[in-house]
Every structure is written in structure tokens, then in C-alpha cells.
Amino acid sequence: MTDPEDLAERVREGDLRIHELEEHADYDTAAHARRLLVERETGTELEAIGDYAFPAEEADPNIENMIGAAQVPMGVVGPVPVSGGAADGEHYLPLATTEGALLASVNRGLGVIRSAGGADARVTKHGMTRAPVFRVAGVTEAAETVEWVENNFEALRTAAESTTSHGELLDIEPYVVGDSVYLRFAYDTKDAMGMNMATIATGEACERVESETPASLVALSGNLCSDKKPAAINAVEGRGRSVTADALIPGDLVEDRLHTTADAIAEANTRKNLIGSAKAGSLGFNAHAANVVGAAFLATGQDEAQVVEAANTITTMDAREREDGTTDLYASVSLASLEVGTVGGGTKLPTQAEALEVLGLRGGGDPPGSNADALAEIIAVGALAGELSLLGALSSRHLASAHEDLGR
């Protein structure tokens, strides 16, 4: 076996490059050699980073120049009571975070939802997008290109779907800006998050567009997709999966468990999440939906950068008066662009695969797409619980004391 000390020294001397180590040793030895190099160059002990629990080779598709693993504390909330289009029953939801009090808050919200009979959730739209940008001479050529695309959707679908055995092209939406033509391709990617799938398929379709129109491809992504950036188009048109969850909480349960009233929570939501967000120019009209989404993404192997799209969430809270004069609370969250999958990417890593096993959603579903739909619905109910708990704490003025009590 190659000595990691020797490999580290060869890199220091310039005989090897840091990304070439796997060519001279197994993956774990290469990671060890890089770790030794970094320790010597920075004077830092990397004992915890190097104490990972899976073969480094299993992470090869997910990272380059590996030195170890970032170990984020993982907890569990639930069970999450959901009646969904794909998810049904109760599910424990693993969440990985370094933010104290988050899981306690979400669990409190889930307890209230469970006592109220559970939450409903539905994926209302699918569509992982990729939007290439083309150059044309002017508006006449732009119109010609758009017309050809609209008249030849089936030919473009055939080209795109020739690259994948799972993805389906759903739509192509054209946008013209001067001498630039953007084509926003949308795909049903089944149980995969599908960004790579959509990119490869769109590249194939772009070759047909270039061969049949005056348009010349400038970039396979023209940012109208829009991936890993806050964007109004995702809030309006959706990306990945659009999912909504809601629950009706009896007024006495709000008072007993959240120590406030339906009217107070509804007012807090309106003034904070709706008016306050509008004044701030926010693309997310919610309290902290990204908190739950981010923790779920880390736990289940999603692309953590896409949390920025999942923050495109609108929370609504409505006080509903009954005939007997009591007031219940209607609570909902609508996540316009939740990009999740249960196959591919980070979902194959051992820790994340185990978290998906906890949910009963590892791998492809039957029918295809059902596991990723179920994951989206469960995350949405988790986000709803987080919104309910935080708004309850705010309207009862218990937010600061809760963090103090938990030592955060």
C-alpha cells in the first residue's frame, strides 16, 4: 500500500498535484495524504474531519480533493402526520442542522398538527427547468426561431428524451429580449432531482434548434432556469416541484399548546410574513421555511444550494370562525420551487441513504416519481410545523424565552 506520508511529501515538493492522488493510491489513502498535507501547511489538526464512517470511494461522484467529512448533527422530528397525494400516514423526518432550538420548534408544531388530525399536502406541479440563451441578428430572427420551436415541439421532445430513460419534456417557454432568445425547457424528472438530466437533454435539443433556425447557442444556461439564485420566475412558474401543505387547528388547541389565539397568529402572519416581506422586497413570504428545507436537504442528500429556491414559500394563516362562535386557525405553506430527489446525487451517500430509509423513500418509487413527491410533501408539512410554532412563539412573545430555556 502506498504510504500517505510519501504522497503528501510528493505533493509538497511539486512532484504530484493534489487532484492526482487517486491515480497513485486508493481513495481513503489519497484522502489521508491530502489531510496530512493540509495539516502541515496550516498547522491544524484534522482528527474530526478525518474520522468519517464510509469508504471515500463512495463519495467520489460527489466531491473532488476529499480530505474527510463535515459531520453535521442530525436529529429527527415527528412523526409527521400527512395525508398526501404520494405520502400517507406518519413519517419521522431526519433534519441535520447546527441551529439549536430548530428541531424543538418543528416538533412542537408537528405535535399540534398531529393533535388536530394531521395535515394535507399535494404536489401541484412538476418541472425541472433549464433555459439556454441563443443569439440572433434581431427581432425578425427571434420571431422566426420562436415560431419554429412552437411548431416543432414534438421533434425537440424526441431529441431531448433520447438522452434519458426517465425524463419527460413537458414544455418549452420562449422569451425574447432584443437579440437574445431564451427557451425555458421544463421536465418531469421522476424520482431524480434532475438538474443534470435536464441539462444533458436540453443540450441535445439545442443542436436541433441551431440546425433549423438562425439562432446560435451562447450558453446552455441563460439564468432564466433559474438555478441556485433567488428569482421571481421560480416563485411564479415553479421549478422542480411546487407543493402545498395545510391544516386546520382548533382554537382551543392553539390556546392550550401554543399559548396564543388564532386571531393573534393570523395577525402576526399578515404583518410579518406578508406586509413585512412585501416592504422588504422579499421573494419569500414566510417566517423561516428555508430552515426546515435546509436541514432536510442536508440530512437526505439534496443539493443544499437549491435551498435558495425553496425559500420561495408563501405562508398563510387565517382565523376561521365557527357557528358556535369559536375561532379555528387555518394554516398553509406553498413552496413554489422545491427541488428534491430520492435517487442520484447525494442521496447515494451512506448517511443520507440511511436518512431516506428512515422516511421509507430511498430509491425510485412505484410509480416513478412517487418517492420524490412523497419527500416533497413530508418536507412541506415539516415546514408548516415550523411556521406554526414560530408564529405561535412570536404572537405569544415566547421566542426569546424559548431560546433562553434551551440554552441557545
Q: Where are the beta strands (DSSP E) in 261-407?
A: 313-321, 327-338
Annotation marks residue 45 as catalytic: no
3-state SS, residue 344: coil
- 23 C-beta neighbours (distance < 10 Å), count: 9
Of residues 396, 379, 387, the one with CA closest to residue 330 = 387
Annotation marks residue 20 as catalytic: no
- 333 C-beta neighbours (distance < 10 Å), count: 29
DSSP string for residues in 158-202: HHHHTT-SS-EEEEEEEEEETTEEEEEEEEE-TTB--HHHHHHHH
3-state SS, residue 288: coil
- Tell me how far apart the alpha carbons of residues 335 and 124 are, in angstroms, rounded to a whole number: 10
- 124 C-beta neighbours (distance < 10 Å), count: 13
Active-site hit among 303, 304, 318, 354: 303
Of residues 397, 298, 288, the one with CA closest to residue 355 = 298
Cα 377-383-387 angle, rounded to 5 deg: 145
Annotation marks residue 99 as catalytic: yes
Active-site hit among 90, 99, 210, 263: 99
DSSP 406: T
C-alpha grid cell, residue 214: 438562425
- Chain centre to alpha carbon of residue 26: 33
Residues catalogued as catalytic: 99, 303, 403
